[in-house]
Amino acid sequence: MNQVKLLSTTAILTALIWMTADQLQVVTVGLDVALRFEPREPDSGMVIRPLDPSAPPFKVVVSGPRRAVAAVQEAQNLAMTLHVKERPTAMEDRIEDLAGLLREEGGPLRNLLILSVDPPEALVSVDRRVEQEVSVEIRKPLSLAYKEPPTLERDKVRVQMWESQLQALRGRGSLPVITIDIESELSRSRRGERVEVRVPVNAASVFGRDATSEPDRVKVEATLAPEQLARKKLDAVAIRPCLGFEYLGRRMEVVLADGATIVTRRIEVEGTTDAIAAIDAVLSESRIYGVINLREEDIKNRIGQELSIVPDIILPEGLKLVRPPDPVRLTIVAVDEE
């Protein structure tokens, strides 16, 4: 009986020894580790980003007891943050000796011996947020009519931006000025009275992504001139013939008098000073033109005869015709089926 107990105890002790020896066995493996970088100083504004955000994880070769290695291998998406010393802003920089940094950091690999890291260094960009005083001015030319010209409450703002962008702009010479579009706000204001509006400061359009200003709006004061009417003559407004819906599907064409291929008319328009001042831009977008509306009552039983029709002139809001344009002579011709 004692011999049986002795054999059982020996078997258990042997199993424990083998199990312990297996767990203490040293193994060497490669681990995929995503590395992030942060400054060591807690109040630092330094931001470190990988040059290639899509780059694969680093291959870290470690050695240690099988149990400790297995515990790390069970972790999903192994990631570590390495804290680095302050370094100057740079569009491209290298963080070297990643193995040494990993040994200092410890973390999930603290119980393992770090043998190597592939690649041994990280390509990064280093940046930080800085603040710079920047001039602001009113965007010109101005198109509204003013009784008293607009003035800005301030001519400078504080802009927070990335230092790399500031360095690049300084390398080109003096810092650019932020221009402020005041007329999109003032155009809705009362005329003839002193008004105040707060206009956005678009710092990002000048100083790049994430740039912000303090304040983010500036006050503008101005007095728009009282609304007045003015006139302007337009020498060559294009006229377009237009058949009514009742003629869709019927084969006919419009023939202009004297064999002309296009027809224009001289017109005179009246409107507010702002509308008159904007005519050149309106014409460039072809928003002023004439239409000859050929309706059933205009040409019934008169196909083949010369017609004289006053065109309708299409005008933007704020403009009207001083007098109707001269009529257009044309003929509606039936086209034979082939």
pLDDT digits (tens, 9 = 90+) for 301-330: 777 888 888 999 999 888 999 999 999 988
pLDDT digits (tens, 9 = 90+) for 89-127: 999 999 999 999 999 888 888 889 999 999 999 999 999
* Residues 6 or more apart in contact with residue 126 via CB below 8 angstroms: 46, 47, 48, 87, 88, 89, 90, 93
Query: How are strands ordered across the β-sheet holding 194-200?
Result: 146-152, 217-224, 194-200
Query: Whole-angstrom Cα distance, residue 28 to residue 144?
Result: 77
- Looking at residue 17, what is its pLDDT? 47
Q: How does the average pLDDT of the chain come out, rounded?
A: 85
Q: What angle (nearest 5°) sits at the alpha carbon of residue 8, between those of residues 4 and 11?
A: 140
- Looking at residue 313, what is its pLDDT? 92
Q: 275 or 204: whose pLDDT is higher? A: 204
Q: Where are the alpha helices (DSSP H) in 106-242?
A: 163-171, 183-186, 204-207
Domain ranges of the chain: 2-120, 130-224, 229-334
Q: Is the pLDDT of residue 5 over 70?
A: no
- Looking at residue 18, what is its pLDDT? 45
Q: What is the mean pLDDT of residues 42-51?
A: 91
| Listed ranges 76-80, 270-274, 320-324; the one with the highest mean pLDDT | 320-324
- Looking at residue 230, what is its pLDDT? 87
CA torsion, ordered 99, 100, 104, 107, to nearest 10 deg: 0
Top CATH class of 130-224 equals: mainly beta
With 0-12 CB in 10 A as exposed, 13-18 as middle and 19+ as buried, what is 129? middle
Structure tokens at 6: 């002795």
Q: Is the pLDDT of residue 151 over 90?
A: yes
- Domain spanning 229-334, CATH architecture: Beta Complex (2.170)
pLDDT digits (tens, 9 = 90+) for 226-242: 877 889 999 889 888 87
Run of H or E residues at 229: strand 229-243
Distance between start and end Cα atoms, the chain: 121
- Looking at residue 1, what is its pLDDT? 56
- Looking at residue 193, what is its pLDDT? 87
Q: Is the pLDDT of residue 247 over 70?
A: no
* Residues 6 or more apart in contact with residue 181 via CB below 8 angstroms: 139, 199
pLDDT digits (tens, 9 = 90+) for 202-219: 999 999 888 999 999 999
| Listed ranges 4-13, 136-145, 186-195, 282-291; the one with the highest mean pLDDT | 136-145
Q: Is the pLDDT of residue 289 over 80?
A: yes
What does the DSSP 8-state code read for residue 107? G
Q: What is the mean pLDDT of residues 20-30?
A: 72
Residue 197 · residue 152 · CB < 8 Å = no
